[in-house]
Amino acid sequence: MKEKHTVEIIKNKKIAKNTFKMIILAPLVASEAKAGQFLNVFCKRGDLLLPRPISICEIDIKLNTVTLVYAVVGKGTAEFAKMLSGEQIDIMGPLGNGFYIDETNNNHLIIGGGIGVAPLLELVKNLKGNKTVYLGFNTEPYLIDEFNRYADEIRITVENKIETGDGSLETGDGSLSESKDGTEKESLGTVFFGSDNNSGMSQKVPSPMTLKGNVMDLIKENTPKADMIYACGPKPMLEAINGWAEEKEIEAQFSMEERMACGIGACLVCTCKIKKDEDREWQNYRVCKDGPVFYRDEVMWE
Ligand SMILES: Cc1cc2nc3c(=O)[nH]c(=O)nc-3n(C[C@H](O)[C@H](O)[C@H](O)COP(=O)(O)OP(=O)(O)OC[C@H]3O[C@@H](n4cnc5c(N)ncnc54)[C@H](O)[C@@H]3O)c2cc1C
Ligand code: FES
């Protein structure tokens, strides 16, 4: 729905440092939206005129709800974080094109970095076949239980450890830690969760690896099998995945992020260079309307 409309906030709670999960009652969006699309979310403050683009994280068609997960980075998202259940909020969407799901692909590799993990949850839910999920976080992981419900295998990595008083290192929530000399303490910097799909139970199993680092390190360490990669996260991460996918000749889709104003293709603020056809020149495309998801060989990496 391209018109701005008002919906009710069912829940809005903190799930990690500076990170919130908002569930809205939005039957029209829930019935139309697909994984990878986003909503324009409007602020109440009169001076914050531009809507904030936020990806659809999860859809519940039965309950008519849509979940958004957002990081507080500026004035708009700070306002969202203060909103309470029962309050109303203005939205527009679903906007943009979501991920393309090819039913002939059996092995899916889903890679998220930071807040880029959010739009991947609904995707993992919808994909059929073997789903391997690699998630990279800055200091504190989130949405792991939710991903674990739908994925066959999850590996997570927490990049920045926080210095502690005794010289050891630990992550923001203290759940993963290593000692000063680099040997692991109780758990490792990278944790593997394997789902037991037959019983519906999930097991938490420490990974046999002592790898610390980002999702690219995870990929290189494990060389996962994939027919298609779906990735969302910071540009340097996408660029690195692009290089790896090219080398391994694996098709990939990237959800791109650009600063936006209108979110509906009218202002050209979000243009980036895309080559839709081998024979054609690089052209300007609007991330909001032509994307935000693009195929690997369509995107120009500058
Ligand atoms: C397609 C798309 C999907 C996104 N999905 C999510 C998500 O699921 N969760 C999440 O936390 N963030 C997401 N973002 C980023 C989110 O839009 C910005 O973090 C947010 O707009 C910042 O608003 P602010 O007022 O708090 O920050 P400010 O810096 O005060 O914002 C100032 C202006 O710049 C714009 N802006 C700032 N950062 C970005 C950005 N990274 N991308 C686009 N516009 C920006 C704002 O919309 C606003 O108009 C997404 C961005 C895009 C383009
Ligand atoms: S944000 Fe206006 S054209 Fe994309």
- Write the pLDDT tens digit of every residue in 194-238: 544 444 444 444 443 335 678 898 898 888 999 999 999 999 999
Residues with CB under 6 A from ligand 2: 260-263, 265-270, 286, 288
Q: How confident is the model at residue 193 (pLDDT cuts 50, 70, 90)?
A: low
Determine the structural domain holding residue 273 and report its residue range.
256-302
Rounded Cα distance between 272 and 250, Å, is: 23
Q: Within this chain, do residues 44 and 71 fall inside the same structural domain, yes or no? A: yes
- Write the pLDDT tens digit of every residue in 85-122: 999 999 999 999 999 999 999 999 999 999 999 999 99
Is residue 161 in some structural domain?
yes
pLDDT score for 192: 54
Averaged pLDDT score across all residues of the chain: 84
Name the residue of 39, 49, 50, 268 to mutate for ligand 2: max ligand atoms within 8 A of Cβ. Answer: 268
| Environment class of 126 (CB within 10 Å of its CB; exposed 0-12, middle 13-18, buried 19+) | middle
The tokens of 19 are what? 């990170």
Give the pLDDT mean for 60-85.
98
Query: What does residue 144 show for φ and ψ, rounded to 5 degrees?
Result: -65, -45
Q: Which atom of ligand 2 is nearest to the CA of 263?
A: 1
Given 236, 251, 266, the domain boundary residue is: 251
- Give yes or no for residue 64 having a pLDDT over 90: yes
pLDDT score for 71: 97
Task: Give the ligand with the smallest distance to the CA of 290.
Answer: 2
Q: Which atom of ligand 2 is nearest to the CA of 262?
A: 2
Distance 137 CA to ligand 1 centre (A): 18
Give the pLDDT mean for 140-164.
82
51-65, 68-82, 116-130, 217-231: segment of lowest average pLDDT: 217-231
Nearest to 57 by CA among 67, 65, 72: 67
Is residue 112 in some structural domain?
yes
pLDDT score for 122: 98
Q: Within this chain, do residues 85 and 174 fall inside the same structural domain, yes or no? A: no
Q: How confident is the model at residue 139 (pLDDT cuts 50, 70, 90)?
A: confident
pLDDT score for 283: 84
Given 251, 266, 288, the domain boundary residue is: 251
pTM for this model (two decimals)? 0.88
pLDDT score for 18: 95
CATH for 285: 2.10.240.10
Residues with CB under 6 A from ligand 1: 38, 50, 52-55, 69-71, 73-77, 115, 118, 257-260, 292
Is residue 99 in some structural domain?
no
What percentage of residues in the chain have a pLDDT greater than 70? Answer: 80
